[in-house]
Each structure stands twice: as C-alpha cells, then as structure tokens.
Amino acid sequence: MNSAQTSTDTPHVVICTTGGTITASTAAGGVVVAGDSDPATRAMLDDLRAVLPDSVRVSARAVLDADSSTFGPAEWDVLVDAVEDVLADPGVSGVVVTHGTDTLEETAMALDLVHRDPRPVAITGAQLPADHPDADGPANLLDAVLLAADPVSRDLGVLVVLGRAILQARGVRKWHTTDAVAFARNAPDLPVEGLPAELERPTLRGRARFTDARVDVVACPPGSDAVALRACIAAGARGLVLEGSGSGNLPPLVAEAVAELAVERPDVVVVAGTRVPRGEATATYSGPGGGAELAAHGVLSCGYLRSGQARVLLAALLSTADPVEVRRLWDRYHLYS
C-alpha cells in the first residue's frame, strides 16, 4: 500500500464493510443470520454520524457481505485490494474494516503484512448482532473510527479495536467466543525504555496473493500419526503449519514423516507451532519430535504467532518467494524471533 502524505485537519475515514455479526440480525429460535446487511449497515452509519464529532467525516464502501467463517485466502486478497484502493485517495485519513470475529485475526494479519502506508487501518466487529438490545457493535465502530481519524494512530499498522481494547495485528487471536473483550494478543513483555519491539513491523517486499499458495494447518495431538500431513501434501499444499504441544514439539510419527519430507519434498515449507494459548514456540527440546530436532530438518518455529496467523504469513511468503528464500526470511516477519 502506498505512503501518500495526507492531511489530518479534517479527517475522512472510509469504512469497508464485510458483513459479520456487527450487521447481523436474529431469526426465529435465536439463530443469528449474517449477510444481506445493507439495511443494518445504513442504520449503523446513521447512528454513528449522530454521535461523531462534526470534524470527522465518514463514508462507507461495501466490500463483502457474509459471515467471516466463510472467508479464506480469496477474501483476504479482495480486502487487501479494497483497502489499497481506498488509500490511493490522499484525502482519506484512515480506514475502518468491519468484520466478523471468527476469522478477524487472519484478515488482520493479511492486511498488516502488506500495509506500508502510515495511515491507520482499524478492524472491528461485534459479539452480539445489530438487533440485540445490548449490541456492542455501535460502540466498537465508534472507537474504531475515532482511532482511525486520530493522527496518533499513524505508523502503527493494522489495529484490532473491540471491547474497548486496541491491539496491534500480529499475535492477535480470538480468545473468547462470547465475551465483549473478544481478543487478546500473544506477545513478549515490552522493554521499559526505548522503542517497543511491537512497533517494528516489517512488511512484505512484494504484493502477496494469498490464493497463490495452499498452506494447511494440521493438528498434531499426542499419539497422532502422519495421515493428515500426507493427505495435505497430496492435495497440493506448499506449506504446512503443524500445531504441536509445549513449545512446538510433535508426536514421534509426525516427526518421522517431517524428516522424510525434508528429503523427498524440500519444496514444502514446514512450520511448527503449539496448541498452548500463550508464550513462544521455540526449537528448544531434543529427542524425537523435539523442536531442536525439527529445526535440524529445516522446520521453522511459529514464535508468538499461533496457527491461524502463521498460515497467513507462510502463504504470503510462498506467494512472493521460493522455499529457500521463505526459510531465510521467516524470522524477519513473524513476531519477535
């Protein structure tokens, strides 16, 4: 995305809508229905304009309209293109993306990897549908717009704004299915002095196309074998994110298959992560399936990323570089190597 210099004297924030719970309605039996959200979007914008300061101008652009559980690489590409197109206008001060919370963490990562513009992109959503008496979407949208309009948010990349929390994109994951504070961020403690490490967010050199590279996530619980791993390779996966245990360790049968894969298919990039919610995945332990042994076979570690965002990063890198270069670059882009 470009780095156009813009004026923030009269902020103009463009809201890119994608559907999701924030504009969803409730059908008979309490079933939440996403999609066909134009009326709810118009009402949401009317309510927003009624409480915004007169100095902040908002407009909306419909990009997608569905439950985010249906989103994947194709939708990430669509959203990246849409945000880039909006920011081609130097009169825009910032962008807000309204999004379902199910896959918000993947979309936030995809946008952040290519967002080189200093203007902020805030991504928000809701845990309750628009017609719920306690709907949280309006407050979340107001917070996101005010953040995107504020010059203090420049150069921070993509920000997740939900439940009064503001989180940078890398390391974010949905941590609760229903709580208003839906997201948390897995990251190391910040230094007391100096530039916080989180402000160092390198972006990709080229324009990633997430649909160009199939990357699969394989759960590797205790005692699992390599059947799922081999099926993904047979289906054309160019990258694998293996969700292990502890600090990124895999069951022996999976580790054995990974060692064979390193010899037979060096074109397939393998990343090891963990099912543990917080902390860093590292190549620490020896022995069959231990992270250190995996690293000897060229397996990369997820660091502070979890499987969803690691998959996004690996797909992005594989769409812009060959496997040798991906392995060299990996630690530059994942969180705090």
One domain, residues 150 and 232: no
pLDDT at 337 exceeding the cut of 50: no
Please report whether residue 35 resides in a domain: yes
Q: What average pLDDT does range 111-138 have in this prediction?
A: 95
Q: Cα(69)–Cα(80) distance, rounded to whole angstroms?
A: 18
One domain, residues 93 and 28: yes
One domain, residues 97 and 237: no
- pLDDT (0 to 100) of residue 5: 46
Please report whether residue 150 resides in a domain: yes
Q: Cα(155)–Cα(81) distance, rounded to whole angstroms?
A: 20
Please report whether residue 89 resides in a domain: yes
pTM of the full predicted structure? 0.92
The C-alpha R_g of the chain, in whole angstroms, comes to: 20
Q: Cα(239)–Cα(218) distance, rounded to whole angstroms?
A: 11
One domain, residues 143 and 215: no
| Residue that terminates a domain, selected from 199, 224, 243 | 199
Q: Cα(81)–Cα(107) distance, rounded to whole angstroms?
A: 12
Please report whether residue 4 resides in a domain: no
> What Å distances lie between residue 65 and 98, 200, 286, CA to CA?
10, 33, 48
Residue 224, both tokens: 């699992």
| Residue that terminates a domain, selected from 153, 180, 199 | 199
Apex 239 CA angle, 238 and 242, nearest 5: 150
Please report whether residue 204 resides in a domain: no
Name which of 97, 120, 84, 103 is nearest 11 in CA terms.
120
Please report whether residue 294 resides in a domain: yes
Q: Cα(173)–Cα(305) distance, rounded to whole angstroms?
A: 9
Question: Does the annotation mark 21 as catalytic?
Answer: yes
Please report whether residue 5 resides in a domain: no
Which pLDDT tens digit goes with each residue over 83-124? 999 999 999 999 999 999 999 999 999 999 999 999 999 999
- Say which DSSP state 210 is in: G
Which pLDDT tens digit goes with each residue over 150-163? 999 999 999 999 99
Distance in angstroms between the alpha carbons of the first and the last residue of the chain: 25
Q: Cα(111)–Cα(81) distance, rounded to whole angstroms?
A: 10
Q: How confident is the model at residue 187 (pLDDT cuts 50, 70, 90)?
A: confident
Which pLDDT tens digit goes with each residue over 92-102? 999 999 999 99
> What Å distances lie between residue 169 and 61, 119, 172, CA to CA?
22, 15, 6
- What is the number of structural domains in the chain? 2
- pLDDT (0 to 100) of residue 6: 46
- Bridge pairing between strands 269-274 and 215-219: unpaired
One domain, residues 246 and 308: yes
- Cα-based torsion angle of the residue sequence 95, 96, 97, 99 in order, rounded to the nearest 10 degrees: 170
One domain, residues 79 and 161: yes
Q: What is the CATH number of the domain that holds 74?
A: 3.40.50.1170
The single residue of 6, 17, 18, 21 carrying the catalytic annotation is: 21
Averaged confidence pLDDT in the chain: 91
Please report whether residue 6 resides in a domain: no
Answer positive or negative: Cα dihedral of 263, 264, 269, 274.
negative
pLDDT at 48 exceeding the cut of 80: yes
| Residue that terminates a domain, selected from 176, 199, 222 | 199
One domain, residues 187 and 84: yes
One domain, residues 139 and 235: no
Apex 270 CA angle, 266 and 273, nearest 5: 165
One domain, residues 192 and 219: no
Q: Which domain holds residue 57?
A: 12-199
158 neighbors 169 (Cβ within 8 angstroms): yes
pLDDT at 1 exceeding the cut of 60: no
Any bridge partners for residue 11, and if so which?
none
Which pLDDT tens digit goes with each residue over 194-213? 545 545 688 998 889 999 99
Q: What is the CATH number of the domain that holds 253?
A: 3.40.50.40
> What Å distances lie between residue 239 and 180, 227, 308, CA to CA?
34, 16, 13
